[in-house]
Amino acid sequence: MERENQFIGQSTAFLDAVERASRAAPMQRPVLIVGERGTGKELIAERLHRLSSRWGEPLVTLNCAALPETLIEAELFGHEAGAFTGATRTRAGRFEEADKGTLFLDELGTLSMAAQERLLRAVEYGEVTRIGSSRPIRVNVRIVGATNEDLPAKAARGEFRADLLDRLSFEVITLPPLRVREGDVAVLADYFGRRMAAELGWETWPGFAPHVAGALADHPWRGNVRELRNVVERAIYRWDDWETPVGHVQFDPFDSPWKPVAMPRKPDDERAAAPIVQPTPRHDLEAVDDLRGAVEAHERAILEHTLGKHRWNQRQTAKALGLTYDQLRHCIKKHGLGEPEAA
């Protein structure tokens, strides 16, 4: 698993998780990494391997959700020739490939109960048996698992083996989502922005316009760092102007007035479902205690967004907002807006 292994962040929650990984790395024990998608579970797994005594041995990765149930056991434990249809030759499994090193099992919670039972034996006895063979093979593998599911809850429901969970959870590192990592959005956005600007050959890094920086800070980031990286890099390459701060960002790349709309099902289709209606963003109306101020702030935000989208071309902005050029100029003057200067 070759990935960029920079850890960018300054929040206490993030640094605590990284520190816990560093302390657990030298231990020859299994580790579980828990976190939402995009929080960096793969990077923590790599850190656990690189800071251990196994750093010179293989780090083998298997995404348990990427394979059908019928193949997952063959991938993990290998198979003999003729063990099943399509098995034309003997193949070593991921456990054998990771011998003396680390096996990273991503999306661990998706393993079938049969695979969990075989995994339990491998963890407990250090032995694996290829499918179609009766001869166990000794392996020395450290297991690092990752999941975005609540495994204790799954074990309580009988959907995950409790005895396997006990053996894998010597240490559990829970990664904080980006929305609780105070101050890290700005740090990460600047890092990804500078790197993208360098990739595009920009002569300088102008940074973000204030309203864009504010929008980045306020976004909920359901996809965490991975989503932030995509949003920032997309904004940079679309802006493509190193002389002025980036003035527009699009969080949803699918947002378009021309995006296709799903056709409704036929009325006689019993499985017909009600069309999914995307909710319109709403302001916290209960928090408004100054109507005039709230309206002014909303108007300013619309102006900043649309001006940035049209690179401060005021005639295009006026047309987009349904204003005359003079009306737009009046609004800009009223709100004290000025074209962002280069950094």
The CATH number for 156's domain is: 3.40.50.300
Number of domains present in the structure of the chain: 2
Q: Let me know if residue 36 belongs to a domain.
A: yes
Spatial CB neighbours of 134, under 8 Å, sequence gap ≥ 6: none
Q: pLDDT at position 284, please?
A: 60
Q: State the pTM of this model.
A: 0.75
Computed from CA positions of residues 44, 45, 47, 52, in that sequence, does the dihedral angle turn out positive or negative? positive
Mean pLDDT value across residues 191-197: 96
Share of the chain above pLDDT 70, in %: 89
Q: Specify whether the CB–CB gap between 123 and 142 falls below 8 A.
A: no
Minimum mean pLDDT among 55-64, 118-127, 245-254, 295-304: which range? 295-304
Query: What's the first-to-final CA gap in the chain, in angstroms?
Result: 38
**31-75 residue pLDDT tens:** 999 999 999 999 999 999 999 999 999 999 999 998 888 788 888
Give mean pLDDT, residues 139-147.
97
222 is a domain residue: yes
Give pLDDT, residue 339.
Answer: 64
Averaged pLDDT for residues 115-138: 91
Q: So what's the pLDDT on residue 5?
A: 59
Predicted confidence (pLDDT) per residue in 11-29, tens digit: 999 999 999 999 999 999 9
Q: Return d(Cα 85, Cα 313) in angstroms, integer.
A: 64
Per DSSP, 178 falls in state G
Tens of pLDDT, residues 85-111: 777 788 898 999 999 999 999 999 999
pLDDT at 257: 76
Q: What angle in degrees, to the nearest 10, is found between the helix axes of 41-50 and 12-24?
A: 40
Same domain, 226 and 169: no
More confident residue, 137 or 332: 137
Instruction: Provide the token pair at 71.
Output: 């193949």
- DSSP labels, 105-138: EETGGG--HHHHHHHHHHHHHSEE--BT----EE
One domain, residues 308 and 196: yes
Range of the domain at 146: 12-176
Domain C-terminal end among 142, 176, 210 = 176
